[in-house]
Amino acid sequence: MKALFLAWQDSITRAWFPVGRLTYDNNWYEFVYIKGAEIAKNDSNFRGIFFPEHEFDKVYRSRELFPVFSHRIMPRSRPDYSNYIQWQNLSQTENNPLVLLSRSGGKKVTDNYEVFPEPERDEDGFYHLYFFIRGLRYMASYNKNRLEKIEVGETLYLLHDSQNDFDSNALMLRTKDFYLLGFCVRYLLDDVFPILQNNSNLVEVKVERVNQPPAPLSMRLLCHLTVKDENYRPFSSPMYEPLAVPVLG
């Protein structure tokens, strides 16, 4: 994995905006703002992340991972680090910061940022993304109890939540026997929703890992989403276009 996107949420409207792209190659980290940052600035007064300068048309480069990202990685010295990595279905020896961030999402209670991966096409032409199901705490107790019987490899189905007050494109995830488990991550909606409308068979979601307590609800169910559309180009809309010319790929 060589690239991640950074997203920012307006704390008032709760709207999410992709605002930047992080890449790593040849021992250099590079960050550029993308057009989503301009939209967030105009719509929600987004001021940029905590670099020494806040120029949206500048390429930022560093040998070290920028603090806005490194502070989102749990230190190995934490006593619960082993469980944390296991819940994400990663190897205990995994040390690639981009992999660690992409699987966890890098959410913190102290700010409104989140990260998500830029997927790469596999040898079959498919794209794969892993994410933890969202909003489980809002589900009825009988839906939460379904987790006790859910199995790795079980297929989940995307359901359009058209009456969602915050996002009319929201996608819920349900089991084959119609238990609602929560929501698909927001950053996939603009990309995946059009594919589902045209041919739902091109998008597949399966259970990758089930974590029982003491895992928090936010990490109880890890999903594996596969897009089988050969015409799909992830995060290729104008919102993701860089505002500066990247040095790295």
pLDDT at 186 (0 to 100):
81
pLDDT at 113 (0 to 100):
94
Supply the DSSP string of 75-144, one letter for each residue.
Answer: PTTSTTHHHHHHHTT--TT---HHHHHHHH----TTSSEEEEE---B-TTS-EEEEEE-B-GGGS-HHHH
pLDDT at 248 (0 to 100):
60
DSSP 8-state assignment for residue 74: P
pLDDT at 83 (0 to 100):
96
**Beta-bridge mates of residue 17:** 8
pLDDT at 194 (0 to 100):
79
Q: What's the rounded Cα separation, in Å, for the pair 135 and 157?
A: 16
Reading the chain (249 residues) residue by residue, the pLDDT tens digits are: 689 999 999 999 888 899 999 999 989 999 999 999 999 999 999 999 866 667 899 999 999 999 999 999 999 999 999 999 999 999 999 999 999 999 999 988 888 999 999 888 888 889 999 999 998 888 999 998 898 899 999 999 998 876 676 766 788 999 999 999 999 888 877 777 778 777 888 899 999 999 988 999 899 999 999 998 888 888 888 999 999 987 765
Q: What's the rounded Cα separation, in Å, for the pair 243 and 143?
A: 43
CB contact at 8 A, 200 and 211: no
pTM value is: 0.89
Ordered domains of the chain (ranges, CATH): 3-118 (no CATH), 127-227 (3.30.70.2330)
**Beta-bridge mates of residue 35:** none
CB contact at 8 A, 73 and 57: no
Q: What's the rounded Cα separation, in Å, for the pair 115 and 8?
A: 9
Cβ contacts of 223 within 8 Å, gap of 6 or more: 130, 131, 132, 133, 156, 173, 205, 206, 207, 208
